Structure 1
C-alpha cells in the first residue's frame, strides 16, 4: 500500500494531466456541435469495426457447425429429389405410385482419407449407431466418392474411386451406353471408362454418370466427363479417359446412400445365380 501511495505521489502530475485532458475533451464534445458530430462518427466507426471483427471471429469458430447443418440439409434435399424422380418415372409408366423412396441420404464428415496410394480409403464420422451399414454408397456434392465396407459403432470406412480394386457401373449420359469406371492408380484426377463399343459416338466433354445398374448408387450421380479417347486398330472397345468430377484433395463432407430395398434385391439376384 505504501509503495502504491509513493508511486502515485511521484507521478501525480501525469495522472492530473490525463484527468484534465479527459475533462477538456468532454467539454469540447458536449459544447461544440462540429466536434460532437466528428466524435460520434468516429466512435461509430470504431464500434462497427469491433463488432464486425467479433462477428467474423464468431462465424469462423462456427464454420464446422454451419457446414454440418448444410450437409444435413443437402442430404435431406437429395432424398426428396430422389423420391420425386422415382414418383415421376412411375407415373409416366401408369403404374401404382409408391411414395416410399428407394434411396435415402445420410450426411457425414470425412475424418481421414488417402489420395496418393494405389488403394485409397476414406473414414467418416458415422457408424452403426447412425444407421450406417456395409455396401452403402458414398457421394459428395461433386459426385461419387466411394462405398462403405467396414462399420463400427461410431465410424465407417471403405474404398474410394481411387482404389484399383473397385469399379463403378457407369454410363454416357447422352446415349445411355454403359460400362465400368475404374482407376489405374496414377493420377487422382482421372479414371478410365471401360467396355464402350467402338461404334458408339463419343465427344470430348460428354458427361459420365452412374448407370443405376447396381444396388449401391441410384442412376444419374455425377462421375466425370470424357477428357480424351482413342480406338486401337482391331480392338472392340474404346480407351476412354475420364476427368473425375470429385476433387478428392479438398472434399470434407459426404452423403451416405442407403438403399432401403437392398436386401430384397440381393435375395432376388441370388436366386438367379442359383438357377
Structure 2
C-alpha cells in the first residue's frame, strides 16, 4: 500500500492529465453525434476482429473433433445408400427388417500409418477385430477405392493398399461395362494399370473406371479413377489403360471399411460349383 501511494505521489501530474484526457474524450463522444458514430464503428470493428480471431482459434482447436463427427456422419450416409441393400421383387429391405437383408455395412476408421514409396505399401487403421473389422474387407475413402484388409488385431488392422504390387482387383469401364483387372506397377503413386481390355472396346481418355460386379470385396460401381492414357495393342487381342487414381494416397486421413453380409453365401456357392 505504501509503495502504491508513493507511486501516485510521484506520477500524480501524469495520472491527473490522463484522467482529464479521458473525461474530455467521453464528453466529446457523448455530445457529438459524428464522433460518437466513428467511435462506435471503430469499437465494433475492433471487437468483431477480436471475436473472429478467438472463434477461428477455437475452431482450429476443435478440428479433430469436427473431422471425427463428419466422418461418422459420412459413414451413416453410406449405410443408407440403396446400393447396400438386396433388391427383391417387391422392395428394399431396410434396418428395421427382421431378416437383416442389408448387403453392405460401412465402418469408419482413421488412418494412423501409411506408405506410398514402396513396391508393397500398407495402411494401418485404428479399428480392429472388436470393432467388426475382418480380413478381406474392402476399404474406401470419399474419392474411391483404397485397398483390402489384410490382417487384424483387437484394436488395429492393416490394409493391403491399392499401391501394392501384390493386389489386383476387378474393374470395369463405367460407360460400357467392359471388365478388366487393375493393379499398380510400382511407378507412379497416382496411377495404376487396367489390363485385359479387348482391343475392340471403345475407351477414351477421361472415361470413368469403377469396381465391377465380379468383385467379392467391393460393391459394384465404387470409383477407382479415370482413363489417363490408352496404350496401343502390341499385336495381341488386349490393350492396357493407364488409370489416374481418384484418391490421393498421400493425403488419406479417414476411410470406410466395407463388410459384405452376403459374401460367405456367394463364395460357398461358387466353391460348390467348382468342386
Using the size of structure 2 for normalisation, the TM-score is 0.90
Is residue 85–residue 93 contact of structure 2 (8 Å, CA) maintained in 1? no
* Counterpart position of 1:166: 167
Q: Distance in 2 between matches of 1:80 and 1:14?
A: 72
Corresponding position: 1:42 with 2:42: yes
Q: Distance in 1 between matches of 2:102 and 2:229?
A: 37
Render the CA deviation track for 1:14-52: whole Å, top value 9, x for unaligned. Answer: 222222222222222222222222211211111111111
Higher mean C-alpha deviation, range 23-32 or range 42-51: 23-32
* Counterpart position of 1:213: 214
* Counterpart position of 1:241: 242
Q: Distance in 2 between matches of 1:196 and 1:232?
A: 10
Shift of 1:203: 1.5
Is residue 82–residue 101 contact of structure 1 (8 Å, CA) maintained in 2? no
* Counterpart position of 1:21: 21
Corresponding position: 1:185 with 2:186: yes
Secondary structure, in 3 states, of the residue corresponding to 1:126? coil
CA, structure 1 residues 143+22, in 2 after alignment: closer, same or farther (shift >3 Å)?
A: same
After TM superposition, the structure 1 = structure 2 runs for residues 99-138 of structure 1, keeping only pairs within 5 Å, are 99=94, 100-138=101-139
Corresponding position: 1:60 with 2:56: no
Render the CA deviation track for 1:94-146: whole Å, top value 9, x for unaligned. Answer: 46754432101112221211111111111122222222222111111111011
Q: Give me the CA root mean square deviation.
A: 2.0
Is residue 82–residue 103 contact of structure 1 (8 Å, CA) maintained in 2? no
Higher mean C-alpha deviation, range 118-127 or range 157-166: 118-127
Is residue 144–residue 223 contact of structure 1 (8 Å, CA) maintained in 2? yes
Secondary structure, in 3 states, of the residue corresponding to 1:227? strand
Secondary structure, in 3 states, of the residue corresponding to 1:105? strand
Q: Distance in 1 between matches of 2:234 and 2:195?
A: 16
Q: Distance in 1 between matches of 2:14 and 2:179?
A: 85
Aligned length: 269
Q: Distance in 1 between matches of 2:178 and 2:258?
A: 24
Q: Distance in 2 between matches of 1:155 and 1:203?
A: 41
Is residue 137–residue 147 contact of structure 1 (8 Å, CA) maintained in 2? yes
Secondary structure, in 3 states, of the residue corresponding to 2:51? helix
After TM superposition, the structure 1 = structure 2 runs for residues 148-159 of structure 1, keeping only pairs within 5 Å, are 148-159=149-160
CA, structure 1 residues 44+98, in 2 after alignment: closer, same or farther (shift >3 Å)?
A: closer
Q: Distance in 1 between matches of 2:5 and 2:19?
A: 18
* Counterpart position of 2:251: 250
Secondary structure, in 3 states, of the residue corresponding to 2:80? helix
Is residue 125–residue 158 contact of structure 2 (8 Å, CA) maintained in 1? yes
Where in structure 1 are there 5+ consecutive unaligned residues?
A: none
CA, structure 1 residues 152+21, in 2 after alignment: closer, same or farther (shift >3 Å)?
A: farther
Secondary structure, in 3 states, of the residue corresponding to 1:149? strand
* Counterpart position of 2:143: 142
Higher mean C-alpha deviation, range 181-190 or range 38-47: 38-47
Q: Distance in 2 between matches of 1:65 and 1:104?
A: 23
